[in-house]
Amino acid sequence: MNSRRQTAKGVFVLAVLVLGLFAAHTWAQGTATAPKFSVPLTGNYGPHLPPNIANIKAQPYAHTVDKLINWLHVFMVLLFVGWGSFFIYCLVKFRQRAGHKAETRPIKAKVSKYAEVGVAVFEAFLLIGLSIPAWASVKNDFPSEDKNPQHVRVLAEQFQWNFHYPGPDGIFGRTSPEFLDAASNPLGLDPSDAHGKDDIYATQLHVPKDRPVIADISSKDVIHSFFIPVLRIKQDAIPGMRIPIWFEAGQTGNYEIECAQLCGNNHYSMRALMVVQDEAAFDKWYAKAAQGPEEFNEDDLD
Ligand SMILES: [Cu+2]
């Protein structure tokens, strides 16, 4: 009787949970629609990994990230098949039946020990062989100034990405939260700083092909995560911190930037376009954008 009551209670809690999730989902869908890009994305994002457009010679960690993901998939399939088969074998072999007596002493088999050592060795390979070198490259191998990296600041907010370029003088204007205004000053530029006069504000990330980019990631409000799937780079955007990342695109086109951190109700709509251009087209865009927003049309990409 008692267990039946418990089952009923469990079913009730589950039903409330499912109904609640369904209601929240329906409500969230009604509140906003994801922004559509003004241009189609380049390349087939595919069922497995999106295209990898990193300049692999300059940014080898993008290749290591793919290797790591592929190895993990192989490893997980092996574990799933191995443990799944063992589980089914045990269900059949040790089922309760007439004339069969339970054996409660621990088994003394060598095969389980070998399996566990094998798993540990493989995990060490994933960590020491792939993850740590890739992480070290992301964090330590910043392109030097003689490679002429393009500097950009990425400022996240609910639910939009803002991009800040230093303009033709190459120096970022001073910014401070006290100057922030969503409509007239989305970057919080100090109007009295001359270096800020030529700074560029954009809602699309323009980057040159085959030239490194150093991006400083920050946020105005909550924690977001700046994610460019086609470049295999992801970095949390944290209020009060400016965290640098670097990458180098090796293929022109239009690609998606996402927010990879659940940052609020409209998190799913927090996308932006990354436009990779060859050097001449990028320079043209840069010069035009520096003249000020009123003469600059975001849709005018090339
Ligand atoms: Cu976000």
Distance 264 CA to ligand 1 centre (A): 7
- The confidence score (pLDDT) of residue 24 equals 78
Distance 267 CA to ligand 1 centre (A): 5
Q: Is the dihedral of CA 29, 34, 36, 40 positive or negative?
A: negative
Distance 232 CA to ligand 1 centre (A): 18
Distance 124 CA to ligand 1 centre (A): 33
Q: Phi, psi (5° rounding) for residue 244?
A: -85, 145
Distance 228 CA to ligand 1 centre (A): 13
Q: How confident is the model at residue 297 (pLDDT cuts 50, 70, 90)?
A: low
Residue for token pair 């600059």: 296
Determine which of 4-8, 57-61, 171-175, 243-247 has the lowest per-residue pLDDT on average: 4-8
- The confidence score (pLDDT) of residue 153 equals 96
Distance 221 CA to ligand 1 centre (A): 10
Cβ partners under 8 Å of residue 53, min gap 6? 43, 230, 231, 249, 250, 251, 253, 255, 276
DSSP 183: T
**In terms of Cα–Cα distance, which of 198, 208, 205 is closest to 290?**
198
Distance 35 CA to ligand 1 centre (A): 14
| Rounded distance between C-alpha atoms, residue 301 and residue 292, angstroms | 16
- Backbone φ/ψ region at 240: left (φ over 0), alpha (ψ -120 to 50), beta: left
User: Apex CA 138: angle with CA 132 and CA 144, to 5°?
Assistant: 135
Q: Distance of alpha carbon 166 from its chain centroid, rounded?
A: 25
> CA dist 146 to 84, 143, 149, 243, 276, Å?
55, 8, 8, 21, 21
CATH class as words, domain 149-290: mainly beta
Q: Return the SS3 of 291.
A: coil
pTM, whole model, 2 decimals?
0.79
Q: How confident is the model at residue 30 (pLDDT cuts 50, 70, 90)?
A: low
Q: What is the residue extent of each domain of the chain?
A: 60-95+108-140, 149-290
**In terms of Cα–Cα distance, which of 135, 122, 161, 127 is closest to 37?**
161
- The confidence score (pLDDT) of residue 9 equals 87
Half-sphere CA count of 149, side-chain side, radius 13 A = 20
Q: How confident is the model at residue 110 (pLDDT cuts 50, 70, 90)?
A: confident
